[in-house]
C-alpha cells in the first residue's frame, strides 16, 4: 500500500474533516446551486462595462483610429499598453499549471483551474487590441501565411509582430486544450451528481463521455505531464516574443537586451496579482476557504515577492546603465532622472511605488498571510504593472529625437471606454465560468487529500505514520447486491466519531421528550401542509442517517436548522449523542442559512 | 460467449489497490477499474503496459518543426526572397535566427494538439460520446473493479471479493460479446 506520508511540518492544504465525497459536494455546490444576489449585481456591472466597451470598439472601427488620442509622435499608446497588460496577466495560469506541475507542487491543484481560466480570458482580451488596431479587422486574416491575390506576397517572418501572431495563437490554443483536458473528469463528476436532466445532458457533452477507466487515467497523467513540459517553454517564449516587439526596434528605452527575462518576470508578477485578486473573492463567495487556504495565498505571495524582486533588479539595472552610458537620449527613457522629474513624473512614481515599494511589505510574514492586505497589494500591483507598460510605451515615445515633436498623450473617452470594456468582458467571462465550471480541479485535490488533508495529518500525528488511511464512506442506499463491508472485520475506520452502527439509528423519544419539545420551540415546527421539506443532506456534515434522525425530531427545513444557536446545538448533542459537537463545528446554522437563501 | 462479470465497489483507494493486488494474486482477471481520480500505482498493479503517448508527442513535435522549416523556406527563400533590413535571404541557414521563434512555436503547436487528439481518440472520448462508467458514484468517491467470472465459481469469487473489502458486489450478465 502506498504511503501517504508527508512531513508534518508542512501545513495542511485541505482544511477540515473532508472526505472524497465532501470535495465533490463543495466543488459542485456553486454549479448545482442557484446564483446569489451579489453575483447578479456584479455580473450586471460587468455586462454594462462590456457593452460600453463594445460600443467604443464599434465607434472606432466605423469612424477610424483617429477617435483615439494618438498623435504624430505617439502612435502607440493605450491599445498596446492594454495588450501587453492583458497578455502579462495571462501568464500566471499556465505557470501555475505547468511549471508547478513539473516541480510537483501540491498547492497548485486548488488554484490551477481558475488561474488557467483567467489566462484564457485575459489572452482573449489581449487579442482584441491588435485586431482593433488593424483598423480593418475584417482583414485580420492577412496576418496568416495563406496564398493571396498579390502574386502570393507572403507575410514577413522576420517581423516580431508576426512572431506574436504565432506565439499568442499557439499559447491560447494550447492553454485551452490543457485546461479542457483537466476539466473532463470534473465535468464528469458534475454530470453524475446533478439531478437535472438538462444539466446532465450539457455536462455529458462537455465531459466528452469521460468514464475514469484506469487506462484513461494513465494516459491523462502522461498527457498532463507532457503538456506541462511543452507549456513551460511556451509560456516563457510568449512574453519573450512580446518583448521583442519593443526590443528589436531602435527607440531608446525599447532597444534593450534585458527585455525578454524582465518582461517574463513582470508578466508572472502581474499574473499572480490578478490570481490573488480573483481567488480571494471567489474563495469567499463560493465557500471554498477549506481548499484555497491562507497557505495558498502565502505561497502565491512568495512568487510575487520573487518575480517582483526580479523586476526591481531589472528596473535598477535599466536606470543605472542608462545613466552610466552618458548618452543624452537615455535621459528621456522611462527609467531615468529625466522621467522622474519630467512631465510624466506621476507615471514614473506610480510605477516605482506600486511595483517596487508596496510589494516589499510581503516580506513580513504577518502581512503575507493577511488576506485583506494581500488583496490591496494585488490591486496595487495590477495598477502598477499597467503603468509599467504605459511608461515604456508613452514616456519613451513622448520625447523622440526631434525636440519640436515632443508631446504628451491625452486619452479620449474611446481609449478609456475600450479598456473598461475589456475589463468588463473579462469579468463577464470569469463570472459565467465561476457559476458553470467546477472551479477547483477536484479529481486532483482528491489525490492529495490523504497526504495533505488536515484530518489525515492529525491522524498521523495521533496514531503514527503507519496508521491506516482507509476511509469509510457513509453508505448510500445500495443499488444492487449485498453490502459486505463490515467495519472492524475488513478494515478499521480512522474516524472514531463516525463508527456508529448505521442500523442502530432510532432516536429514543421517551427519554428525551422534554428536550425535543425544547429544541423545537427554538427552531420552530414544520407544517407539512404549508411547507415543503428541504434536502438536509446538502448541509456539510449531514448524511442520510443524520437526516433521518433530524426528520424524526421534526426538523425538515433549512430554515429550522438556520435558527440553531449554541443552546439548540447542545440539546441536539444530548438527544443524538453520535456526533458530539459536530453540528457546531461544521456551523450547520450558517450553512443552512446560505442554502435557504439560495433556494 | 455471453460473458459474466462481477462489479465490486470499494469506498477507498487504499482498499481498492490492496484488493486489485489480491485479486490478481488469486489469478482472477480484472477487466476494468473505474476510479474518480488517478490512484497512484494502480496502472502498475492492474498490470497495464506504460502508455506510449509521450513518444507520439515527440514525433508530432518533429513534424511541426519540419512543417515550420518547409513553410518558411518556401515562402521567404524560394518563392519570394526579399531583402529585409539588409538581412541575407539567399539561404535558409543564413536567415534562420529570425525564424527560430516560429520554428519553436509550431513545434509546440503540433506536439500539443496532435498528442491531445491522439489521447481523445485512443481513450475514445469526444463530444456526444456517452459515458460508460457503470455506476455514477465512480466519479465521486467510489471505486469499481470489474472482474471476469470466466469459469470460476461465482459463489467463491463473491466470497473472495467480500473478503477484499468490497462494499457492494453485483453480478453482471452481458448479452452480447465484446
Q: Which three cell numbers stand for residue A343?
A: 512631465
C-alpha distances (whole Å) from A478 to each of A269, A322, B8 are 51, 75, 12
Q: Which residues is B8 bridged to in the sheet?
A: B145, B169
Query: Which residue, A598, A538, A438, A588, is CA-closest to A33?
Result: A598
**Nearest by CB: B38 against A189, A217, A468:** A217
DSSP B171: E
**pTM for this prediction:** 0.81
Q: Do B12 and A472 touch (CB under 8 A)?
A: yes
Q: CA-CA distance, A193 to B138, in Å (whole number)?
A: 11
Q: CA-CA distance, A525 to A542, in Å (whole number)?
A: 19
Contacts of A155 (CB under 8 A, 6+ apart): A142, A143, A144, A145, A162, B75
- Residue to mutate among A3, A484, A502, with most B CBs inside 10 A, is A484
Q: Which three cell numbers stand for residue B167?
A: 462494499
The overall average pLDDT reported for chain B is: 89
At A497 the pLDDT is 42
Residue contacts between A and B (CB atoms, under 8 Å): 259
Q: Do A177 and B109 touch (CB under 8 A)?
A: no
Q: Which residues is B168 bridged to in the sheet?
A: A483, B9
Q: CA-CA distance, A121 to A459, in Å (whole number)?
A: 41
CB-CB neighbours of A324 under 10 Å? 9
- Residue to mutate among B112, B132, B138, with most A CBs inside 10 A, is B112
At B25 the pLDDT is 92
Q: Do B36 and A218 touch (CB under 8 A)?
A: no
CB A355 within 8 A of CB A381: yes
Contact list in A for residue B102 (CB cut-off 8 A) is: 157, 162-163, 166
**The complex's ipTM?**
0.94
Give the number of residues written for chain A: 599
Q: CA-CA distance, A80 to A82, in Å (whole number)?
A: 5
CB A72 within 8 A of CB A99: no
**Nearest by CB: A157 against B37, B102, B120:** B102
Query: Which residue, A213, A176, A205, is CA-closest to B122?
Result: A213
At A479 the pLDDT is 41
DSSP A284: H
Contact list in B for residue A145 (CB cut-off 8 A) is: 71, 75
Phi-psi region of B124 (alpha: psi -120 to 50; beta: other; left: phi over 0): left
Quote the minimal CA–CA distance from B174 to chain A in Å: 16
First vs last Cα of chain A: how many Å apart? 44
More confident of the two residues B132 and A420? A420
Q: Which residue has the cell 481518440?
A: B121
Q: What average pLDDT score do residues B120-128 get?
A: 92
First vs last Cα of chain B: how many Å apart? 9
Phi-psi region of B47 (alpha: psi -120 to 50; beta: other; left: phi over 0): left
Half-sphere exposure in the Cβ direction for A358 (13 Å, CA): 21
Q: CA-CA distance, B124 to B103, in Å (whole number)?
A: 31
C-alpha distances (whole Å) from A256 to each of A247, A249, A309, B97 are 5, 9, 19, 18
Give the chain A residue nearest B128 (alpha carbons): A205
Residues of chain A with pLDDT under 50: 1-2, 474-504
Q: Which residues is B143 bridged to in the sheet?
A: B10
Q: Do A2 and B18 touch (CB under 8 A)?
A: no
CB A18 within 8 A of CB A495: no
At B66 the pLDDT is 97
At A545 the pLDDT is 73
- Residue to mutate among A476, A488, A491, A544, with most B CBs inside 10 A, is A476
Quote the minimal CA–CA distance from A120 to chain B in Å: 16
At A577 the pLDDT is 67
Q: Which three cell numbers stand for residue A230?
A: 511543452
| Burial environment of residue B127 by CB neighbours within 10 A (0 to 12, 13 to 18, 19 or more) | exposed
Quote the minimal CA–CA distance from A555 to chain B in Å: 28
Q: Which three cell numbers stand for residue A31?
A: 454549479
Q: Which three cell numbers stand for residue A63?
A: 469612424
At A494 the pLDDT is 46
For residue range A253-311, list pLDDT tens digits in order. 888 888 999 999 999 999 999 999 999 998 888 888 899 999 999 999 999 999 999 99
C-alpha distances (whole Å) from A28 to each of A133, A200, A286, A287 are 41, 13, 10, 11
Quote the minimal CA–CA distance from A46 to chain B in Å: 31
At B72 the pLDDT is 93
Please say whether the dihedral angle defined by the alpha carbons of residues A362, A365, A369 and A373, taken in this order, is positive or negative: negative
At A483 the pLDDT is 42
At A575 the pLDDT is 77
Q: Do A192 and B80 touch (CB under 8 A)?
A: no
Q: Which residues is B169 bridged to in the sheet?
A: B8
Give the chain A residue nearest B113 (alpha carbons): A174
Q: Which three cell numbers stand for residue A229?
A: 513540459
**Nearest by CB: B43 against A157, A218, A446:** A218
**Nearest by CB: B115 against A216, A223, A490:** A223
At A491 the pLDDT is 41
For residue range B4-56, list pLDDT tens digits in order. 889 999 988 888 998 999 999 999 999 999 999 999 889 999 999 999 999 99
CB A561 within 8 A of CB A539: yes
Contact list in B for residue A480 (CB cut-off 8 A) is: 168, 170
Contact list in B for residue A211 (CB cut-off 8 A) is: 34, 131-133, 138
Please say whether the dihedral angle defined by the alpha carbons of residues B55, B56, B59 and B61, taken in this order, is positive or negative: negative
Q: CA-CA distance, A113 to A179, in Å (whole number)?
A: 7
Amino acid at each position: 500500500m502506498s504511503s501517504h506520508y508527508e512531513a508534518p511540518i508542512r501545513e495542511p492544504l485541505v482544511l477540515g474533516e473532508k472526505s472524497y465525497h465532501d470535495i465533490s459536494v463543495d466543488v459542485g455546490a456553486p454549479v448545482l446551486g442557484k446564483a446569489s444576489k451579489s453575483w447578479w449585481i456584479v455580473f450586471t456591472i460587468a455586462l454594462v462595462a462590456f457593452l460600453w466597451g463594445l460600443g467604443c470598439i464599434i465607434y472606432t472601427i466605423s469612424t477610424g483610429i483617429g477617435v483615439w488620442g494618438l498623435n504624430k509622435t505617439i502612435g502607440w499608446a493605450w491599445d498596446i499598453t492594454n495588450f501587453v497588460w492583458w497578455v502579462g496577466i495571462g501568464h500566471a495560469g499556465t505557470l501555475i499549471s505547468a511549471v508547478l506541475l513539473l516541480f510537483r507542487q501540491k498547492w497548485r491543484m486548488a488554484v490551477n483551474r481558475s488561474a488557467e481560466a483567467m489566462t484564457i480570458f485575459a489572452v482573449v482580451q489581449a487579442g482584441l487590441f491588435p485586431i482593433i488596431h488593424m483598423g480593418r479587422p475584417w482583414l485580420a486574416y492577412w496576418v496568416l501565411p495563406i496564398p493571396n491575390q498579390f502574386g502570393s506576397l507572403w507575410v514577413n517572418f522576420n517581423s516580431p509582430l508576426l512572431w506574436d501572431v504565432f506565439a499568442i495563437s499557439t499559447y491560447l490554443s494550447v492553454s485551452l486544450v490543457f485546461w479542457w483536458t483537466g476539466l473532463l473528469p470534473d465535468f464528469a463528476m458534475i454530470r453524475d451528481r446533478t439531478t437535472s436532466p438538462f444539466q446532465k445532458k450539457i455536462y455529458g457533452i462537455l465531459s466528452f463521455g469521460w468514464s475514469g477507466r484506469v487506462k484513461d487515467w494513465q494516459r491523462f497523467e502522461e498527457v498532463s505531464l507532457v503538456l506541462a513540459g511543452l507549456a513551460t517553454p511556451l509560456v516563457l517564449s510568449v512574453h519573450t516574443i512580446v518583448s521583442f516587439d519593443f526590443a528589436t526596434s531602435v527607440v531608446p528605452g525599447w532597444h534593450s537586451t534585458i527585455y525578454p527575462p524582465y518582461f517574463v518576470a513582470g508578466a508572472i508578477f502581474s499574473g499572480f496579482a490578478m490570481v490573488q485578486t480573483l481567488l480571494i473573492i471567489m474563495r469567499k463567495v463560493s465557500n471554498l476557504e477549506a481548499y484555497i487556504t491562507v497557505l495558498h495565498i502565502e505561497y502565491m505571495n512568495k512568487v510575487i515577492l520573487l518575480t517582483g524582486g526580479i523586476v526591481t533588479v531589472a528596473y535598477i539595472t535599466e536606470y543605472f546603465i542608462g545613466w552610466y552610458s552618458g548618452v543624452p537620449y537615455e535621459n528621456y527613457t522611462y527609467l531615468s532622472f529625466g522621467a522622474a522629474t519630467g512631465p510624466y513624473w506621476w507615471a514614473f512614481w506610480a510605477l516605482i511605488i506600486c511595483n517596487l515599494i508596496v510589494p516589499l511589505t510581503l516580506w513580513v510574514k504577518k502581512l503575507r498571510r493577511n488576506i485583506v492586505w494581500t488583496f490591496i497589494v494585488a490591486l496595487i500591483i495590477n495598477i502598477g504593472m499597467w503603468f509599467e507598460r504605459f511608461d515604456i510605451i508613452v514616456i519613451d515615445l513622448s520625447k523622440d529625437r526631434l525636440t519640436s515633436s515632443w508631446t504628451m498623450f491625452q486619452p479620449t473617452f474611446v481609449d478609456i471606454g475600450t479598456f473598461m470594456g475589456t475589463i468588463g468582458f473579462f469579468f463577464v467571462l470569469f463570472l459565467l465560468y465561476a457559476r458553470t465550471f467546477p472551479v477547483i480541479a477536484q479529481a486532483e485535490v482528491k489525490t492529495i487529500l490523504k497526504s495533505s488533508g488536515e484530518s489525515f495529518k492529525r491522524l498521523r500525528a495521533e496514531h503514527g505514520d503507519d496508521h491506516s488511511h482507509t476511509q469509510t464512506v457513509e453508505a448510500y442506499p445500495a443499488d444492487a447486491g449485498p453490502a459486505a463491508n463490515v467495519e472492524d472485520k475488513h478494515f478499521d475506520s480512522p474516524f472514531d466519531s463516525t463508527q456508529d452502527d448505521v442500523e442502530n439509528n432510532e432516536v429514543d423519544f421517551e427519554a428525551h421528550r422534554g428536550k425535543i419539545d425544547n429544541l423545537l420551540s427554538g427552531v420552530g415546527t414544520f407544517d407539512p401542509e404549508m411547507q415543503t421539506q428541504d434536502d438536509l443532506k446538502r448541509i456539510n456534515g449531514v448524511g442520510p442517517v443524520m437526516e433521518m434522525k433530524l426528520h424524526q425530531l421534526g426538523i425538515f427545513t433549512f430554515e429550522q436548522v438556520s435558527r440553531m444557536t449554541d443552546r439548540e446545538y447542545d440539546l441536539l448533542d444530548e438527544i443524538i449523542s453520535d456526533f458530539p459537537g459536530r453540528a457546531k463545528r461544521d456551523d450547520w446554522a450558517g450553512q443552512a442559512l446560505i442554502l435557504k437563501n439560495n433556494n | 460467449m455471453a460473458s459474466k462479470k462481477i462489479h465490486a465497489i470499494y469506498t477507498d483507494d487504499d482498499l481498492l489497490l490492496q484488493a486489485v493486488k489480491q485479486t490478481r494474486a488469486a489469478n482472477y482477471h480484472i477487466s476494468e477499474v473505474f476510479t474518480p481520480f488517478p490512484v497512484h500505482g494502480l496502472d502498475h498493479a492492474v498490470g497495464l503496459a506504460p502508455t506510449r503517448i509521450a513518444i507520439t508527442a515527440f514525433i508530432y513535435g518533429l513534424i511541426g518543426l519540419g512543417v515550420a522549416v518547409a513553410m518558411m523556406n518556401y515562402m521567404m527563400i524560394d518563392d519570394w526572397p526579399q531583402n529585409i533590413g539588409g538581412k541575407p535571404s539567399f539561404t535558409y541557414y543564413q536567415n534562420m535566427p529570425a525564424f527560430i521563434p516560429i520554428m519553436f512555436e509550431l513545434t509546440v503547436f503540433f506536439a500539443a494538439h496532435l498528442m491531445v487528439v491522439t489521447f481523445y481518440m485512443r481513450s475514445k472520448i469526444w463530444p456526444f460520446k456517452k459515458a460508460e462508467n457503470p455506476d455514477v458514484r465512480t466519479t465521486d468517491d467510489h471505486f469499481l473493479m470489474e472482474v471476469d467470472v470466466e469459469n470460476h465459481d461465482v459463489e467463491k469469487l463473491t466470497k473472495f471479493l467480500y473478503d477484499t473489502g468490497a462494499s457492494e458486489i453485483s453480478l453482471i450478465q452481458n448479452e452480447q460479446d465484446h
